[in-house]
Structure 1
Amino acid sequence: MRSVGQPQGRPWAAAAVGKHSHEYEYGSKQYLLMCGVGGLLSCGLTHTFIVPLDLIKCRMQVDPAKYKGIFRGFGVTLQEDGLRGLARGWAPTLIGYSLQGFFKFGLYEDFKIRYAEMLGRKKAYRWRTGLYLAASASAEFFADIALAPMEAVKVRVQTQPGYARTLRTAAPRMFAEEGLRAFYKGVGPLWMRQIPYTMMKFACFERTVEALYTYVVPKPQSQCTKTEQLAVTFVAGYIAGVFCAFVSHPADSVVSVLNKEKGSSAFGVLRRLGFWGVWKGLFARIIMIGTLTALQWFIYDSVKVYFKLPRPPVPRAPPEESRKKK
């Protein structure tokens, strides 16, 4: 990675960042590393915070007869496991999603810069949605490799009664019984779930922010306070999260069942669940992912503000593009 003086990740955002007003130069290794730290905090903290809802969602997916709804699921869990039972799986969640967030956000910023440089100013602006999709898909591919082991442990702890209650007991048992395959057999379905989710998460967020500043916010972004900009970030993040829940939920159902059962395959689980079965727990996932995505973007942007990272404005057409439209 090389340092760049201009905001080349968004080459259409002319003179976006005054380099002397920031602690880190846009596109530098230090900048990308801090973006990764922001992703680590945003994903690790938010996913751990919603472990109880995620627990109920997973149990609704793998045992819909017993966990017939969100409130019923919470009631059964409290009755059988007590209040502490709602936190089951917090350790693998914190570790797994912190690693995923580090690579997801850090690599997204890196790929966005690289792809924009490959396209050039004009094409980077015209094809910016495709650029967001490609950069986020590339980043998520690697992020899921980091996430897969802890996701497998989390689901096993949360959905298989009597197997293990903690990361310290579940991981060694899984390795002893199934070897490394136990931790990576779900990486394929994880890609199926997470890559579409992340593509929607980043592309929808970027374009929603652009639309909010263009059509909703009554003043230019440059005149908005940091608090107002963070509010726009939160709203755009929630809108993106709702769409993310829809596109990723079927694969999420397959991952939950697959990691619970030994010797199962993704296609076998999909055939057994059927069309309606893969949509179990969707409402819980919409609430969870909408809130999760909004908080993630809010925390990520807050980290950029705190560490004085460059925050380029929404994309603008290069001068030659603007003249063509007149």
Structure 2
Amino acid sequence: MSTAFAVPQFTSKDYSSFFLAGALCCTVTHGGMTPIDVVKTRIQIDPALKNHSLLSGGRLIVAAEGPGALLTGFGPTAVGYLGGAKFAGYEFWKKQFVEIAGSQESAVAHRTAIYLGASSVAEFFADILLTPLEATRIRLVSERHYATGLTTGFMRLAREEGFQGLYAGFLPILCKQIPYAIGQFTVNEFCHELVFRNMSEEKRRSLSGSTKFGISLGSGVIAGFAAAILSQPADTLLSQINKGHGPTGSMVYRLVTLAREAGVRGLFAGLGPRMIMTAGLVSGQFLLYGGIKDMLGAPPGLEIHKETKSKY
């Protein structure tokens, strides 16, 4: 028989802490990864760089355009990935779905669905904020003299193309970011579960700081690899759409046509650099997120790992 259990009642202050921690961790990591993101995007959309690696592509860009080219789009990259909405949203929706489950046994049995649902819904709402800034970032990267920065690039895109231009990539960005979020959060949850499954609560509480760091780092790296692989095809299509490639017509028709033209190999162009970038991003974000939450005095997130008897 299923038993009831107590779910933590996070306050508005708790969610504010989750949001701030998520915002800071994503801004720091994405801003720091701008050079890799520039090279990755150029490999996806520039025929001259199509078959180059991260290092060789970066050398060509620096040789032709100077070192400053690797920081193109720093503003929207740092600001656009304010992940506060995603991290706080994941905490919120995971709690909602656990409450819907109604019992500890049911939540544990359906934990995969809870992780998938919470990450997907949180990412959907975060993407409403992200899409215009992502469109601006790709314009700045792909057209070097498009604008001088985030504000001027955003204003030019809004002025010249309006709502349609700002949200032209909304469908492909959903196709990219939702699998990304699924890989990021779901795989990270299961990596931690795998580590803690046969570990007693007493041993878990006595883990050293370096051990906890290693577990978080390893889980984040694996989750980052998964996020990169799952979202790579849509990431390539998003770059193409924001560059203006493809036929006219509905977004679905354009995406299908571009996918056929690219083929499997083309859709996964730039995967190597992106896996490196994403592993660093995701692991860095989880480490920073946990550290910032601790500094803010925020409570731990809700856990529904199989091995736990009650973490609620």
TM-score with structure 2 setting the length: 0.88
| Partner of residue 310 from structure 1, selected from 299, 302, 305 | 299
Match of 1:66 in 2: 49
Seen in structure 2, the aligned counterparts of structure 1 residues 65 and 217 have a Cα distance that, compared at 3 Å, is farther
Q: Equivalents in 2 of 1:228, 1:29: separation in Å?
A: 32
5 Å-filtered alignment, 1:76-91, equals 76-91=60-75
5 Å-filtered alignment, 1:79-158, equals 79-98=63-82, 101-120=83-102, 121-158=104-141
1:115-169 CA deviation, whole Å, 9 max, x = no partner? Answer: 1011022211111121111111010000111100100000010012433342233
| Partner of residue 268 from structure 2, selected from 259, 279, 303 | 279
5 Å-filtered alignment, 1:1-326, equals 8=7, 27-67=10-50, 68-98=52-82, 101-120=83-102, 121-214=104-197, 220-261=203-244, 265-311=254-300, 315-316=305-306
Q: Equivalents in 2 of 1:34, 1:218: separation in Å?
A: 26
Q: Equivalents in 2 of 1:132, 1:139: separation in Å?
A: 11
Q: Equivalents in 2 of 1:226, 1:126: separation in Å?
A: 31
Deviation for aligned residue 1:276 = 1.4
Q: Equivalents in 2 of 1:168, 1:118: separation in Å?
A: 42
Deviation for aligned residue 1:188 = 0.4
Deviation for aligned residue 1:225 = 3.7
Q: CA RMSD in A?
A: 2.3
Q: Which amino acid aligns with 1:298?
A: L
3-state DSSP of counterpart to 2:107: helix
8 A contact 2:14–2:298 mirrored in 1: yes
Match of 2:251 in 1: none
Which shifted more, 261-270 or 207-216? 261-270
Deviation for aligned residue 1:179 = 1.0
Deviation for aligned residue 1:319 = 6.2
Q: Which amino acid aligns with 1:91?
A: G
Runs of 4+ in structure 1 over 6 Å off = 216-219
Seen in structure 2, the aligned counterparts of structure 1 residues 104 and 7 have a Cα distance that, compared at 3 Å, is farther
1:233-252 CA deviation, whole Å, 9 max, x = no partner? Answer: 12111111111111110000
TM-score with structure 1 setting the length: 0.84
8 A contact 1:122–1:318 mirrored in 2: no
Seen in structure 2, the aligned counterparts of structure 1 residues 212 and 273 have a Cα distance that, compared at 3 Å, is same
Which shifted more, 154-163 or 278-287? 154-163
Q: Which amino acid aligns with 1:75?
A: R
Q: Equivalents in 2 of 1:317, 1:229: separation in Å?
A: 18
Q: Equivalents in 2 of 1:107, 1:214: separation in Å?
A: 26
Seen in structure 2, the aligned counterparts of structure 1 residues 56 and 223 have a Cα distance that, compared at 3 Å, is same
Percent of aligned positions with the same letter in both sequences?
31
Q: Equivalents in 2 of 1:88, 1:291: separation in Å?
A: 20
